[in-house]
């Protein structure tokens, strides 16, 4: 549920609902986000020697004289790399919840061992970033313009001027399997053992889960699945043509509720805005709800129109990860949970 670069204000609103040489030039930076107590060791990468290069999904090749050890990454990328044994020094993006616990997008990261440069949209403490002496800046791409996700555009030149090569993995308008493979390739370039039993087992489990979801969808073709996200005044219904998870589910045969292209236009094709009064516009047997901390969670929705929805009354509401952590291990439950929901669903629409 994101927009292209040209519709940043809408996307931002949805997210709110749902070396010393370079340091002097960046002190007038954004954000004062608290840092964690130090950083992780990056031992896996640091133990390697030799030059490093990686061609990212912008077509740009990041290069360094050695494999990066002081890595700074968007929290979801850091979580994926952690699953492959690669540590990072700093993160940005939703890392801590209001009660100080790890955000869902942090996965299995120990958030007390990384420096948090910014926890919300628009936050990125450049002074702390430069102090980490970063040798790689890693994030995702949610448009075809190469915009680095959660790197504030108004300060991106200062951030990149620190000197760390940047890498963007695209999660825009493609199926989940492609960025999963690209993240594995990035991890391998950073020193991960991609042939380790843990990794190969997770990939087999992912393939098995995909087969299960395909079979569930084929056996229950009439079960309609709607992807939604809740904000104070708006209920967002996702289209399936840009999101990596929804595109993949559709390819596996899941019967996704698809708003007309005309209603998705205002968001660049990502979602349709509905008032809570019109939340029943689309029939659905299963509702997948945005599980990010930027969105209101189902148990906290008080709108009477929501509670009257057949899928809600039937208890057929499950969580959705609109920004999946791109490791096979973390994506297995996404497929399994949806498959189970479809297998057990009653036709209520």
306-343 per-position pLDDT tens digit: 999 999 999 999 999 999 999 999 999 999 999 999 99
pLDDT tens by residue, 204-248? 999 999 999 999 999 999 999 999 999 999 999 999 999 999 999
Beta bridge partners of 63: 53
Task: Please list the alpha-helical segments (H only) found in 41-95.
Answer: 43-46, 75-83
Percent of the chain with pLDDT over 90: 86
More confident: 9 or 193: 193
DSSP 192: -
- Tokens describing residue 184: 């594995």
3-state SS, residue 224: strand
Q: Which of 210, 181, 233, 235 is closest to 1 using CA atoms?
A: 235
Contact 57, 81 (CB under 8 A): no
Average pLDDT estimate for 30-53:
46
Can you give the pLDDT at residue 39? 33
pLDDT at 24 > cutoff 80: no
SS3 content of the chain, % helix, strand, coil (to 5): 40, 20, 45
Q: Percentage of the chain surpassing pLDDT 70? A: 86
Residue 50 pLDDT: 76
Q: What average pLDDT does the chain have? A: 89
Stretch 40-58: mean pLDDT: 65
pTM, full prediction: 0.87
The greatest distance separating any two alpha carbons of the chain, rounded to the nearest whole angstrom, comes to 64
Please indicate whether residue 27 or residue 69 has the higher confidence score (pLDDT): 69
E-assigned strand segments in 153-300: 166-170, 224-230, 235-238, 255-256, 271-274, 286-290
Model confidence band, residue 49 (pLDDT cutoffs 50, 70, 90): low
DSSP 265-282: GGGTTSEEEE-GGGTTSS
């Amino acid at each position: 549920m994101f927009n292209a670069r040209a519709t940043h204000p809408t996307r931002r609103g949805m997210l709110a609902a749902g070396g010393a040489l370079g340091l002097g030039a960046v002190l007038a930076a954004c954000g004062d986000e608290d840092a964690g107590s130090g950083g992780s060791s990056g031992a896996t990468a640091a133990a390697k020697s030799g030059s490093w290069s990686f061609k990212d999904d912008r077509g740009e090749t990041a290069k360094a004289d050695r494999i990066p050890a002081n890595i700074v990454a968007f929290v979801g990328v850091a979580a994926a790399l952690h699953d492959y044994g690669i540590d990072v020094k700093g993160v940005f993006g939703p890392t801590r919840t209001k009660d100080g616990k790890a955000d869902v997008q942090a996965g299995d990261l120990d958030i007390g061992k990384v420096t948090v440069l910014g926890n919300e949209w628009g936050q990125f403490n450049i002074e702390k970033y430069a102090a980490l002496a970063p040798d790689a800046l890693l994030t995702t791409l949610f448009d075809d313009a190469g915009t680095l996700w959660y790197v504030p555009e108004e300060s991106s030149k200062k951030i990149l001027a620190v000197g760390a090569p940047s890498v963007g993995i695209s999660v825009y308008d493609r199926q989940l399997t492609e960025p999963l493979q690209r993240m594995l390739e990035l991890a391998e370039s950073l020193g991960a053992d991609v042939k380790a039993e843990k990794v190969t087992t997770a990939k087999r489990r992912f393939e098995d889960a995909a087969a299960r979801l395909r079979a569930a969808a084929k056996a229950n073709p009439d079960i309609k699945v709607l992807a939604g996200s809740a904000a104070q005044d708006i209920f967002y219904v996702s289209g399936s043509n840009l999101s990596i998870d929804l595109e993949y589910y559709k390819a596996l045969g899941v019967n996704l509720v698809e708003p007309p292209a005309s209603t998705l236009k205002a968001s660049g094709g990502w979602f349709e805005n509905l008032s809570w009064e019109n939340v029943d516009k689309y029939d659905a047997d299963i509702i997948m709800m945005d599980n990010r901390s930027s969105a209101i969670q189902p148990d906290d929705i008080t709108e009477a129109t929501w509670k009257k929805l057949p899928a809600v009354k039937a208890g057929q509401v499950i969580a959705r990860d609109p920004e999946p952590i791109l490791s096979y291990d973390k994506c297995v439950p996404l497929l399994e949970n949806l498959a189970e929901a479809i297998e057990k669903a009653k036709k209520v629409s």
